[in-house]
Amino acid sequence: MSQTSTDTGPPVPPAADPHRLFAGWVRTARAADFAAHQRQYGPLPVAAYPGRSGRARLIEAVEAAGLRGRGGAGFPTGRKLRAVAAAARRGAVVIANGCDGEPAGDKDHALLDVAPHLVVDGAILAAYAVGATEIILCVHRDDDLAGRLARALAQRPGGEPAVRVTPVPARYVSSEASALVNFLETGDGRPTTKPPHVSERGVRGRPTLVDNVETLAHLALIARYGAEWFRGCGTADSPGTALFTVSGAVSRPGVYEAALGTPLAQTLRLAGEPVAPVNAVLVGGYGGSWLPMPAAAELPLDHASLRTAGASLGAGSLWALPSASCGLAETARLLRYLAGESAAQCGPCMFGLPAIAADFAQLALGTRDAPAAVQRVRRRLPVITGRGACGHPDGAVRLAASALETFEPDLRAHLAGRPCRWTRHARLPLPPRQHRSGDWS
């Protein structure tokens, strides 16, 4: 990618370039140290937003850009910034959430490995915008990710707000916003009930901004290049690019960057041609939705289009299910995993998820109890939705409901006692062992 220096800062990347967060990696195939980061993007643009009015203009730029959170819910980032800034009378806290909670997701880990300084820039700018005095970068306990991030932070100059790296339990729900605050406060990585929301009272009772690391990296680019540039790709409802972990029946599984609104099949092809016919794609992670192929091949991957299809971007995970695998059996495995990963603090998680997982196991095996099991599942799903202390049970319900619809032909065969012959050929990745029920510290 050719670039031309100017006297006013780094060049603006071409609006049509789909590589924004990964621009340096695509050009050099090397992770960016601080010197390479500055050559690519120039200095931190705090001076462009001086004083209280400048902070307000920075939030307005993020709002005008239409940046949505890249961690799961897709909440407008500008609204979160404004809410925390309005509440921050005693100093706010910023949490950069770099936990890849999805077993089939690796986008946050990949971004922190190849462009850590873009994330740190975004965290510092977010802290500046909301008046935060503390920045905490949270990652799941990993081989050496926390150590690599600490070494990257040591490359940066003094005088910046300090960024503290904190490893958190590698549990599915421990990356939820209230769980991160709870862990930082008490050492317990389980979600807590709301209200109050962490934007009102979080770490040490202070208003706390919790943003995904990909979101913060985009914020760093918006602060440099502006809202109009950011909207140069994507859709009106979902501008910009997003990182997708593409895996399953593809030849080059990995993390890829694409403009939001790119059709599902085209995004899958970033990871090479399919290694087998694809029956369905799990979109949004293990609390996401199955979408049938080829019917969903041209579905744009943006918030509005996926919402219409009953799905969401979630954590940006796309898992292609080969036709030789049984979608009902795969869903049964995931539901068993999700039931085991619950915090067991409320009825929907303690009783609802294990019951759904047990019934789905009967469906997958095509036992004599399968017809009764599917009736129980259909009764239980609407009862659980919206009643959990966090969104974990809602994700499991969404997964189960989409499986019943997407794999309806298989379901009929299973109910008739003819389960798929590939029931035991599981492919979706799961952690090697289930955590102990009390392992939250």
Residue 388, pLDDT score: 78
Q: Which two tokens stand for residue 335?
A: 């539901």
User: DSSP state, 157?
Assistant: P
Entry pTM: 0.93
**Quick one: fold of 241-322?**
Ubiquitin-like (UB roll) (3.10.20)
Instruction: State pLDDT tens for residues 51-93.
Output: 999 999 999 999 999 999 999 888 999 999 999 999 877 789 9
Instruction: State pLDDT tens for residues 1-43.
Output: 223 333 445 556 655 677 899 998 988 899 999 999 999 999 9
User: What is the chain's mean pLDDT, rounded?
Assistant: 90
Q: Would you list the DSSP string of 134-187?
A: EEEEEEE--SSHHHHHHHHHHTSPTTSPPEEEEEE---TTTTSHHHHHHHHHHS
Residue 426 has pLDDT above 90, yes or no: no
Residue 4, pLDDT score: 32
**Residues whose CB falls within 8 Å of the CB of residue 228, separated by 6 or more in sequence, listed in order:** none
For residues 225 and 221, give the distance between their C-alpha atoms in angstroms, rounded to a whole number.
Answer: 6
Residue 50 has pLDDT above 50, yes or no: yes
Asked if the peptide bond before residue 354 counts as cis, ω within 30 degrees of 0, the response is no
Average pLDDT rounded to a whole number, residues 218-244: 96
Neighbours of 129 (CB within 10 A): 28
**Quick one: fold of 23-230?**
Rossmann fold (3.40.50)
Q: What is the CATH number of domain 327-415?
A: 1.20.1440.230
CA quadruple 103, 431, 117, 77: dihedral, nearest 10: 40
Domain ranges for the chain, please list them.
Answer: 23-230, 241-322, 327-415
Q: In this predicted model, which residue has the larger pLDDT, 142 or 413?
A: 413
User: Of 53, 117, 119, nearest to 85 (Cα)?
Assistant: 53
Residue 131, pLDDT score: 94
Instruction: State pLDDT tens for residues 321-331.
Output: 999 899 999 99
Asked if the peptide bond before residue 196 counts as cis, ω within 30 degrees of 0, the response is yes
Residue 260 has pLDDT above 60, yes or no: yes
Cβ-contact 382, 403 below 8 angstroms? no
